Amino acid sequence: MIYKLTVILRQIVAVSSISLCAWVLLGVAAQAQTSIETQQAGVNSRIEVLGTLFTPPSGIAASQSRMVFYRSNDSMGLKGATGVFVNGQYHTSLIPGGYSQLCLEPGAVEIGTRQFQVGGAAKDTYDTLTAVRLQAAQNQYFAVYVEAGRPVFKPVSTAQALKELATARLQMHTISRVTQARECVQAPATAVAETRPVPEQFALAGDALFAFGKSNSAGLTQEGLVAIDQLVASIRNDYHQITHIHVIGHADPLGSSVANKRLSEERAETVRRYIERVGPISTRITSEGRGSRQPVVSHCARVASHSAIACNQPNRRVVVEVLGQRKANSEGR
């Protein structure tokens, strides 16, 4: 018997779009079974109708929309299976507790329904027709409702659909004929931005650290030594973990860029060595000179004069960057 029905089904598929591959579904809708017993011998004795449990779908690519159709057990009043048509082409037949999905390009779509029941007269028209617009990169859910004894698909929210689909199973004993269907493409994983810790900066005035034009340890002023000692003590007291200390020398734009670069490098290296000596801080300490590339003020005259030297005072500085974790009681100091 099963063999004969299969042959008839194949003949109908070749002739009419009404062929739904749903011949086993139409008589079991009210029972919401996952399989049916055919009382036949061999491999045809049991036919699976519903498959795996529903799992929430992943995100969909921007070039697609995913349609999820389902029929909850609340629609048991409809006799037989609900045929689903997308833009006039057969997609599936749903029984209570079944769901199916389809991926298409975004745009306008018409969803037709046609209720089928064993022994009933074949229909050439839809019971209902619903027009929807598919949105790009979205999963959209459509549930079967009963209106005036006829099935109709209505859009439902994601929250409602996921709740109602919790016990739904994949409608597996049908073959979609929708030629516009596309293989579902998962949305690319969102890159998680790497959060890099930001070091805390401590600026030391260059004119206070070094005598004019000097950059070596002999050129450190007494005021400069006290300033570095206080900074080191503060770092040791306020941080319970220090990952890295970086010393950056800056010069003003007066004079040649080559000379300024060298002066900034030498001053940064001198401060670095002093911190290592008086620490001791068990962490990596590095240094660099940036010359006059990053001025604090830029409105000063470029020709060396007493006023230009005074105006550029903020640009002559050494910045100590500390990367680490402060102690809880030292926040905001």
pLDDT, tens digit (0-9, with 9 covering 90-100), for 78-123? 888 999 999 999 999 999 999 999 999 999 999 999 998 766 677 7
Residue 255, token pair as written in the block? 């004079």
Q: Are residues 149 and 212 in the same domain?
A: no
User: Does 191 fall in a domain?
Assistant: no
Q: Are residues 142 and 23 in the same domain?
A: yes
189 lies in some domain: no
pLDDT digits (tens, 9 = 90+) for 221-244: 999 999 999 999 999 999 989 999
141-153: average pLDDT: 94
**What confidence score (pLDDT) does residue 123 get?**
78
> Which one has a higher pLDDT value, 45 or 114?
114
Which pLDDT band, with edges at 50, 70 and 90, does 172 fall under? confident
**208 shares its domain with 94:** no
Give the whole-angstrom CA distance, residue 142 versus residue 133. 12
Residue 85: beta bridge partners?
90, 112
- Does one domain contain both 238 and 162? no
Say if residue 44 is in the same domain as residue 162.
yes
Question: Is a pLDDT exceeding 60 seen at residue 59?
Answer: yes
**5 domain-assigned:** no
In a domain, 1, yes or no: no
Report if residue 13 sits inside a domain. no
pLDDT tens for 179-199 read 999 999 999 876 666 667 889
pLDDT of residue 180: 95
Instruction: Please check whether residue 12 lies inside any domain of the structure.
Output: no
Cα(255)–Cα(84) distance, integer angstroms: 81
Residue 281 placed within a domain: yes
CATH of the domain at 279: 3.30.1330.60
The last residue of a domain, from among 152, 171, 190:
171
Number of domains in the chain: 2
Mean confidence (pLDDT) of the chain: 84
Which carries the bigger pLDDT value, residue 10 or residue 298? 298
**Taking the model in full, what pTM does it have?**
0.50
Q: Indicate whether 161 and 231 sit together in one domain.
A: no
One domain, residues 30 and 164: yes
Q: Are residues 111 and 221 in the same domain?
A: no
Residues 104 and 207 placed together within one structural domain of the fold: no
Asked if residue 217 is part of any domain, the answer here is: yes
Q: Which of 171, 189, 214 is the last residue of a domain?
A: 171
Q: Name the residue with higher pLDDT: 241 or 282.
A: 241
Range of the domain at 78: 18-171
| pLDDT surpasses 80 at 7 | no
- Per DSSP, helices labelled H in the chain are 2-15, 158-164, 206-209, 222-238, 257-278, 306-311
